[in-house]
Structure 1
Amino acid sequence: MDVYSHLNGSASAAGRSATTSSTSPTQITAGTPTHNTPPNATLSSTSAANESDGSAQSGQLQLQQPAASVPAACLACRGKHLKCDGMTPCSRCLASNSECIYIASRRGYKGPRRNTAANPNKRHASSSPDVSPSASGDGCPMLLGHTSVSAHAVPAPTMTAVSAFHPAVVLPATEPASPFVPAPPGGMASLQVFRNPYLNGTQSRPMAVIPPTQHQPSLAERCFDAFYHFFHAGHPFVLPRDSMVRLMKEGTTNLDAVVAAMRYIGSLYIDAGPARAMYLDEAIRLCYQPTTPKDGFLIQALLLLIIGLDGSCQQERARELLADCERIAVEINLNTRSFAAMHGRGNLVMEESWRRTWWDLYVCDGMIAGVHRITNFLLFDIVADVGLPCEEDQYLTGDIPQPMYMDDFDDQLFSGEDRPFSSFAYRIAAMRNLGRFMRTPVSLFPGDENVAKIESLLTNWKIHLPEEKRHNVDKKCKLDEMMFQGHFITHACTIMLHQPLSQLDSSPARAVTSCAPHRPIASGESYNVHTQHTITAAYEISQMITQPVPILSHTHFFTCVITLASIVHLSKWALYFLPEEEDLRQQIRLNIGALTKISEVWKAANTACGQVKGVAQEIYRTKKAHQINPAFWVGFTQEEMISSLNADEGIMQEIEGMLAVTQPQ
């Protein structure tokens, strides 16, 4: 089964059916404008006129008979194996604004003939219509997903189906070109032999005269590619691209739901138009239809939808799917060690995918609970003995080692064994610390021993990291997204642990509620150790934005972590005067810039960005009102007063400039 046929589903078949019903044989009527015919093309109406009984009857027959077969096709239509109307230019080239060129066909040519007719209007045997794909089924391999059509079938129009499950809806092929046109899957490019449309149907050899037209990916294909290009590294539990393509070509039926969910996620990163909503609806329908088996692929599809909905400001709907996903995962024993081996089909990569599916569900459940503070991290209390995932390069290349387990991770300092653990394993450990914090009673006073216990867990996670795991880059100096997430989970947990006991009044940032409800925190006269922990963690989160990678390469959960750090920065900026005003200004600028960029894909970031801007404006106006009172400046030198005024004015100008084109929806 061809992978792109699977991606497009029944859309191409429906497109052919719709075209057949809407395209009728053209009738020549008086006053109808026509194009100039190509030099080797003649009308075949003379014979029909000779067989009629009179001139009137001849004219009537001429009007009613179907259009004559086209003696030649232009190069563009030949290269695409499409029907050409023989006009100059033809209607297809005219519609696509392409150059329309005709060359004489050499079908049936047997060398020069003697006594060649001098009549230029005489139709020769070598003037043949355009060549259709072979009826034997050997269609052009450039047209991935192409199926041969009969001689009487009308070819599909140049329209791209937007959904395999909504065949009646099509979009014009005017989408911007994908910046990541994929290579043919499975390295098949070296094995392809292109069929020459200028040869007889029984002959086949590489095309020597004119190269075939490059396949233009459909919207479904581009969404599939966008999923792997932008999203997969942040939540790498779905099979790697090559493995997924191989299963799709084999015709695995229970992939429909997860592929539909992948298309929905990919559509968030490109201009998909109304197809985005259709992909979402279709993915949800497939997940909940009675015939869909409850297996690991269903868990993967639901998890993708949960992540996408949460980042698209549909948190309530995401929580509903999360409850179903967790229930089904436990029902099918995804949390057990034996699940991967029992359902891996003897494929080590698939076994690794099942392990990653459980642990990514675990991490996402914790992230949603931590940043939104509405759910309670249900999976933290579920007993699981699933093997830990391997490194990302091992997963992508299929070099899967023997898995290790959380017991091995916890005992590594005492067992005496120097065993390296993957970045994914450290990400899981960071989320487990957040779960322990969420199970700790709320601290109402400094010095609480529960706070000290959680801080010990967070500090141990950081100080026992191997050297190569400390800087969010792998051995090839590329972003290690799993360690990146592990670090920001730890920083976010630090803020949530220490902020309630800090001396930073949170009331100035009470309007920032895009991720979680406001938590009132009383102000104090001086900094304490909890304040320092909170400010340091917020600073570290802002510095993570400076990583030399596209901000959209991170998981969308980074949005709420940036928002959490912004609340700390704004609370600190609300103080009347700070010696480090300039450094704070740069941190706020970093956070707003990151939220602005992330909002290009995720609506939740757009909402957070607008709220942070509104709070900054409110703090600025409040400080200005205080600065009008001369008593405010008692004890300040003139240099400190000028520095404070300039810093406040500068940060507001930058915020206004960066958010001029980004307004909350």
Structure 2
Amino acid sequence: MKDPSSSASSASNFHPGANIASAAGDAAQASAMRNDSQPGSKSPERNSPQTSVTASSAQSRSRDSIPTACLACRSKHLKCDGSHPCARCVASGSECAYVASRRGYKGPRRGAAPNPNKRQATSPPDLDASDVFPYSSASQPISMCRAFKGSSVPSTSSPGSSTGHTPLSNHSQTHRYADTSGTDISTYELSPSIRSGTVQGPLPSLAERCFDSFYQNFHAAHPFVLPKDFIFRFAREGSIEPLLSAMRWVGSLYIDVPAARESLYDEAYQRVKDSHNPRDGFLLQAHMVLIVGMDGAALNDKARELLIAAEKLAIEIAINTRPFAKLYGRGIPVLEESWRRTWWDLLVIDGMIAGVHRMTNFELFDIPADVALPCEEHQFLSGNIPPSRYLEDLEDQEFTAGDDDREFSSFSYRILCARNLGKFMRTDAIQGPDDPNLARIEALLTNWRLHLPPSKRDPLDRDGRVDEMMFQAHMMVHATSILLHQPHSQLDSSPASSVTSCAPHQAVLTTGHPFNAHTRHVIASATAISHLVTLPAASLASHTHFFTCVLTLSSIVHLSKWALRFVQYDDDDLRQLLRLNVAALSELARVWPAAERARGQVRGVAADIYRAKKQVQAAPQFWFGLTREQVMSSIAADDSIIEEISENPHAQRSTITG
């Protein structure tokens, strides 16, 4: 009878970012050996070392065996002479490093006592590999760091097979290629400490680094893909390869691998678009990861095209219905939760794209859905999924609080914000500042804020860390408020008309003083968005990339106010908010080209306003009623902000351009 612990331990060794040489081997060492043949097989160029060789076998072998091959030769499937350094590395100027081979290793002997000093592989809780792979027919681990370019790849010749091309959906091949710069993306990048020999052991491959970067930097902002500890269990399933490819590309945006980034994008896009893919939830997740990444990379047209395809796929597979999670969750609670989150995050993504770009119509808002609400993030990451709650419970909680006093998850309040945005977008054209429809939407936004439980009123969790789901919820509320009130405010938006990186310019021509209520709503929301920058996040880039466009919307309000003539010497707070926004856009631009475009436009408008203010300030009557100290202070403050905004340095890394 099969030992369950053995099965679980074997499955836990898979890393979706690398080829696995041996299911029973250590995952880190196995990833370094990802190009070796399977235990017990023979390579046409390299033979396993033998302690003794018979006379007959010695006559049949025309080449001498070597103990192992260096990493550079192994990654290129080339014969290595075993020297230190080897001849090929000397000729190419490559670093020559060796890792002990595990070829022929068949795992620990049955009944052998475990080594107390060796770290044992562990499984995620409540999961057994036989439960996760009931329909998998693959007898060998699937390569998770395969990459290729083009719509097809050369197939490996074998007896009875024809040469030519293998479709993308054939996941039994190991695919490798060099990117456009000629850099082999599967080779190791040796750090100085490794080169000097101070660190021993195999290094993570590029694919592993990208995979880990995805979870470290992106997953918390759009947490629908299975947590890292659980997705390992699906490594054998070829149907998730498009998803893994998308994750690798998005993960690469956060690390310094510009030479490989375009190739990773090509691979991910082609895999997701392949017509042979199973049309399932994993393919939908792959679409969603790509959509967010492509929108942040300023590939807006392709992102919208993929969004339309994702919406069709979601309705086709009925992921918006309550039974889907049970039908396709395989009895695994964390997988069921992942499916629920997939629908709701797709709804949020659709709403965010419609809200910040104003080029789509939030199609999913009109689709009926009875999917259970997501749980808290720590519950999802641990796999301890609580009983489900539903949207009607959340929307009617003020009337049923006596029946159930449990708080809803942060993700749930984020969903409410997306739905309020949808209700605003479905409202008939608001005719003026006194239109009842405007008051109705403002009531929705105000009620959302007033009915938050105390633990959700700040975008921080109980430990003082940023709660990304509540961060996005507050971000959406403030952005919706600006979109609602800006057309009826007294801030002339024409000075910022060239800021179009996220959405077309929206003309607001009425001006006046003092400000009306709509102007104050707009200014308060823009200020609140700027203050989100000050929250103690590990990195601004760890927030959703849609924060870029919300910051841009806030900056348009600040710039419009800064351009007003009656704002004179007492606008230092406004200058500080502009500094915050530009600095945040600069930080986001290290990852997202869309942020770089927005930053450039905001800086350009700030420079134009500065020059215009200088001309107006030349007239003596501009300073009427102010003391000399106030005049000098205002001039110095304006000079300082334009100098800081214009010289805010950062090193923008190259990425996909189209």
Is the structural similarity TM-score above 0.5?
A: yes
Secondary structure class of the residue paired with 1:224 = helix
- The match for 1:175 is 189
Q: Which amino acid aligns with 1:481?
A: E
- The match for 1:3 is 14
Secondary structure class of the residue paired with 1:3 = coil
C-alpha displacement of 1:649: 0.9
Deviations 1:516-541, CA, capped at 9 Å, x for gaps: 00011013221111111100100100
Counterparts of 1:229-240 in structure 2 under 5 Å? 229-240=216-227
Q: Which amino acid aligns with 2:549?
A: C
- The match for 1:292 is 277
- Alpha carbons 1:309, 1:315 under 8 Å: kept: yes
Is 1:616 aligned with 2:606?
Answer: yes
For 1:530 and 1:212, locate their aligned partners in 2 and report how far apart those are by CA, in whole Å.
Answer: 61
Deviations 1:256-290, CA, capped at 9 Å, x for gaps: 11111111111111123343222222222222323
C-alpha displacement of 1:168: 3.4
C-alpha displacement of 1:74: 12
For 1:293 and 1:219, locate their aligned partners in 2 and report how far apart those are by CA, in whole Å.
Answer: 27
Structure 1 window deviating more from structure 2 (625-634 vs 475-484): it is 625-634
Counterparts of 1:272-421 in structure 2 under 5 Å? 272-415=257-400, 416-417=402-403, 418-421=405-408
Q: Which amino acid aligns with 1:597?
A: E
Q: Which amino acid aligns with 1:511?
A: S
Is 1:260 aligned with 2:248?
Answer: no
Q: Which amino acid aligns with 1:553?
A: S
For 1:663 and 1:403, locate their aligned partners in 2 and report how far apart those are by CA, in whole Å.
Answer: 43
2:203 to 202, 216, 220: 216
- The match for 2:423 is 436
CA gap of 1:658–1:134, structure 2 versus 1, over 3 A, is closer
CA gap of 1:290–1:73, structure 2 versus 1, over 3 A, is closer
Is 1:603 aligned with 2:593?
Answer: yes
- The match for 1:559 is 548
- Alpha carbons 2:347, 2:365 under 8 Å: kept: yes
- The match for 2:509 is 522
C-alpha displacement of 1:410: 1.1
For 2:220 and 2:386, locate their aligned partners in 1 and report how far apart those are by CA, in whole Å.
Answer: 20
C-alpha displacement of 1:453: 0.6
- The match for 2:409 is 422
For 2:629 and 2:17, locate their aligned partners in 1 and report how far apart those are by CA, in whole Å.
Answer: 69
Counterparts of 1:97-136 in structure 2 under 5 Å? 133-135=102-104
Aligned residues: 545
TM-score between the two structures when normalised by the length of structure 1: 0.75
Q: Which runs of 5+ in 2 are unaligned?
A: 1-10, 22-30, 48-60, 109-117, 122-144, 149-172, 179-183
Counterparts of 1:486-497 in structure 2 under 5 Å? 486-497=473-484
TM-score between the two structures when normalised by the length of structure 2: 0.75
- Alpha carbons 1:606, 1:663 under 8 Å: kept: no
For 1:497 and 1:178, locate their aligned partners in 2 and report how far apart those are by CA, in whole Å.
Answer: 54
- The match for 1:452 is 439
Is 1:465 aligned with 2:452?
Answer: yes
CA gap of 1:132–1:514, structure 2 versus 1, over 3 A, is closer
- The match for 2:494 is 507
- Alpha carbons 1:15, 1:168 under 8 Å: kept: no
For 2:541 and 2:192, locate their aligned partners in 1 and report how far apart those are by CA, in whole Å.
Answer: 17
1:641 to 627, 631, 638: 631
For 1:211 and 1:648, locate their aligned partners in 2 and report how far apart those are by CA, in whole Å.
Answer: 52
Deviations 1:394-430, CA, capped at 9 Å, x for gaps: 0011110111111100111111232210000000001
For 2:199 and 2:555, locate their aligned partners in 1 and report how far apart those are by CA, in whole Å.
Answer: 54
- Alpha carbons 2:570, 2:634 under 8 Å: kept: no
For 1:75 and 1:356, locate their aligned partners in 2 and report how far apart those are by CA, in whole Å.
Answer: 44
For 1:280 and 1:537, locate their aligned partners in 2 and report how far apart those are by CA, in whole Å.
Answer: 36
C-alpha displacement of 1:608: 0.2
- Alpha carbons 2:16, 2:211 under 8 Å: kept: no
For 2:549 and 2:591, locate their aligned partners in 1 and report how far apart those are by CA, in whole Å.
Answer: 14
- Alpha carbons 1:240, 1:395 under 8 Å: kept: yes
C-alpha displacement of 1:132: 5.3
Secondary structure class of the residue paired with 1:619 = helix
Q: Which amino acid aligns with 2:457?
A: R
Deviations 1:23-65, CA, capped at 9 Å, x for gaps: 899xxxxxxxxxxxxxxxxxxxxxxxxxxxxxxxxxxxxxxx9
CA gap of 1:335–1:476, structure 2 versus 1, over 3 A, is same
Q: Which amino acid aligns with 1:373?
A: R
- Alpha carbons 2:147, 2:267 under 8 Å: kept: no
Structure 1 window deviating more from structure 2 (576-585 vs 484-493): it is 576-585
Structure 1 window deviating more from structure 2 (544-553 vs 160-169): it is 160-169
For 1:267 and 1:162, locate their aligned partners in 2 and report how far apart those are by CA, in whole Å.
Answer: 13
Structure 1 window deviating more from structure 2 (262-271 vs 379-388): it is 262-271
C-alpha displacement of 1:475: 2.1
C-alpha displacement of 1:552: 1.1
- The match for 1:155 is none
CA gap of 1:212–1:132, structure 2 versus 1, over 3 A, is farther
For 1:629 and 1:243, locate their aligned partners in 2 and report how far apart those are by CA, in whole Å.
Answer: 68
Secondary structure class of the residue paired with 2:647 = helix
Q: Which amino acid aligns with 1:3?
A: F
Secondary structure class of the residue paired with 1:658 = coil
Q: Which amino acid aligns with 1:167?
A: R
- Alpha carbons 1:451, 1:497 under 8 Å: kept: yes
For 2:579 and 2:63, locate their aligned partners in 1 and report how far apart those are by CA, in whole Å.
Answer: 67
For 1:239 and 1:485, locate their aligned partners in 2 and report how far apart those are by CA, in whole Å.
Answer: 20
Q: Which amino acid aligns with 1:434?
A: L
- The match for 1:123 is none
Structure 1 window deviating more from structure 2 (487-496 vs 518-527): it is 518-527
- The match for 1:540 is 528
CA gap of 1:232–1:445, structure 2 versus 1, over 3 A, is same
- Alpha carbons 1:8, 1:221 under 8 Å: kept: no
- The match for 2:470 is 483
CA gap of 1:525–1:178, structure 2 versus 1, over 3 A, is farther
- Alpha carbons 1:175, 1:271 under 8 Å: kept: no
C-alpha displacement of 1:7: 3.6
Q: Which amino acid aligns with 1:168?
A: Y
Deviations 1:71-92, CA, capped at 9 Å, x for gaps: x889999xx9x98746565558
For 1:24 and 1:408, locate their aligned partners in 2 and report how far apart those are by CA, in whole Å.
Answer: 64
Deviations 1:346-382, CA, capped at 9 Å, x for gaps: 0000000000000000000000000000101001111
CA gap of 1:614–1:9, structure 2 versus 1, over 3 A, is farther
For 1:476 and 1:554, locate their aligned partners in 2 and report how far apart those are by CA, in whole Å.
Answer: 18
For 2:446 and 2:462, locate their aligned partners in 1 and report how far apart those are by CA, in whole Å.
Answer: 24
Secondary structure class of the residue paired with 2:258 = coil
C-alpha displacement of 1:134: 4.3
C-alpha displacement of 1:648: 1.0
- The match for 1:203 is none
Q: Which amino acid aligns with 1:593?
A: A
